[in-house]
Amino acid sequence: MMKSDILTVAWEFFSKMNRMIDRLLLLLFCSMALLTKNVNEYSSVYILVAITLVAIDFYFESERVSLILFILSIIGSVFLPDAFFCLPLIIYGLFGGRYRWLSLLALIPFFVHLPDYSTWAFAMPALFLLSAYLSLSTAASEKRIRDNNALRDLNAEKQLELEQANQELMERKDFEVHAATLEERNRIARELHDSIGHVLTSALLQTGALIATCTDDKMKQPLTDLKGSLTDGMNQVRSSIHDLHEESEDLYASVQAIIRNFSFCPVKLLYNLDTVPDRPIRNTFIAVIKESLSNIARHSDATEAIVSIREHPALYQLSVRDNGSVIGGSVGDLEKSRGMGLLGIEKRVEILKGNVVFRKQGGFEIFISVPKEQT
C-alpha cells in the first residue's frame, strides 16, 4: 500500500472516531438530562431508540438519512415529551450538512412541552448548542485535513512532474552533448581528410615525378621506398579517418536523415535506446532500413510505414513495417529486386549472431533482433 493510501485510510479512521466520540459525549449528557428529569420504565427505551437511530445515521453518513431521522424524531418528540431529551443526539448529523437550518424545527416540540420542562427549559437549548458546536467543529477539522491532504497530493504531483522534467532535461542535455561531440568528430575527420590527404597526395605525386625524371640509379631505390612509405601512410590515414567518421556516426540522426529523404509515404520513427550500439550493429540497422524503405517504394502500395528501434537488457530490436500489400503476391518476389535484398539482410544479421523474421500480415514487416555483446 502506498503512503498516500495509508494516510487516506488513517484520515477516514480519525474522522469516524471523532464523530463517534462526539456522539458518545452527547449520549452521556442527553441520558443524564432524561434520567434526572424523570426516571420510569420507558427511559431506557428512549435511550435505546436514540442509540439505534444514531447508529443508522453513523452507518450511512448521508445528509438525506440524517434529515429523515431528524423528522421522525421531531414527530416522536411532539407526542412523547421525554423523547425530546434525545433530540440533541439525533440532530448532530444534521448540523454538518446543507439541511442544518431545518434544525429550527426542534423548537416545535420544545414549545409544545415547555410547561413540562420547567427548570430544563434552559438546559435543553444548551445541549442543542453543544451538539451544533461539536458537529461544526468536527466538520471544520475534517475540512482542514482534506485541504492538507489535497495540498500534499498536489505537492507530490508537482514534485513528480519536476523530477520528470529534470530527467527529460538531463536526457536532452546528454543527447545534445553527444550530438555535438559526434559533429565535432565529423568536422575533425573532414579537416584531416582535406588537409593531410591533400599533403600526402601532393607528396606522392612529387615523389612519382622525381622517380620518373631521376637519372641516378642510386637515388631511384630510396625514392621508391619513400613513395611506398607515403602510400602506406596515406592508407593508414584514410583508414583512421574512416574509422573516426564511422565512430562519430549517430544512429538516430542517420535514421532521421533516411526518413526525411524518403518521399514515397509517411514514415513514423519509434526510437527507444539508452545506450549506443556498436558500430557493426549501427551499420547493419542503417543498411536494413535503407533497403526496407527502398523495397516499400518499389514493391508495395503502402500509405504508411513505421520504423521501430528498441533496446532490451540483452539485445537490440529493429522493425520496419508498412500497411500495404506486396506487389506480386509473395515475399519471394522481393528477391528479384536490385541491391542487398532480403537474402543480404539475413546474411548481415547472421554475422551479428542475430535473428530476422519476415512477416506478411496486414502489411509487410522485417523484424530483427541482435545481441548487444558481439563475441
Please report the pLDDT score of residue 191 as a whole number. 63
* pTM confidence score: 0.43
Kindly give the parts of the chain with pLDDT less than 70. Answer: 1-8, 11, 38-39, 116-122, 171-172, 174-200, 204, 216-217, 220, 230, 234, 236-249, 326-340, 374-375
Q: What's the sign of the alpha-carbon dihedral 272, 277, 282, 288? A: negative
Taking the domain 172-247, which CATH number applies? 1.20.58
The set of residues, in sequence order, having a beta carbon less than 8 Å from that of 15 and lying 6+ positions away, is 138, 142, 145
Please report the pLDDT score of residue 26 as a whole number. 87
Please report the pLDDT score of residue 367 as a whole number. 92
Domain boundaries, the chain: 3-151, 172-247, 251-371
The arrangement of strands across the sheet holding 364-371 comes to: 267-272, 305-311, 315-322, 364-371, 355-360
Please report the pLDDT score of residue 308 as a whole number. 92
Task: Enumerate the H helices of 38-96 as residue ranges.
Answer: 43-60, 63-79, 87-95
The secondary structure element, H or E, covering residue 347 is helix 341-351
CA torsion 342-344-348-350 (nearest 10°) is 70
Q: Which residues pair with 311 in a beta bridge?
A: 316
C-alpha cell, 213: 625524371
Q: Where are the beta strands (DSSP E) in the chain?
A: 267-272, 305-311, 315-322, 355-360, 364-371
Please report the pLDDT score of residue 339 as a whole number. 43
Please report the pLDDT score of residue 8 as a whole number. 66
Please report the pLDDT score of residue 375 as a whole number. 61
Burial classification of residue 168, based on how many CB atoms lie within 10 Å of its CB (0-12 exposed, 13-18 middle, 19 or more buried): exposed
φ/ψ (deg, to 5) at 369 = -135, 130
Query: Which CATH code, of 3.30.1160.10, 3.30.565.10, 1.10.40.30, 3.40.640.10, is assigned to 251-371?
Result: 3.30.565.10
Strands 364-371 and 355-360: antiparallel
Please report the pLDDT score of residue 195 as a whole number. 64
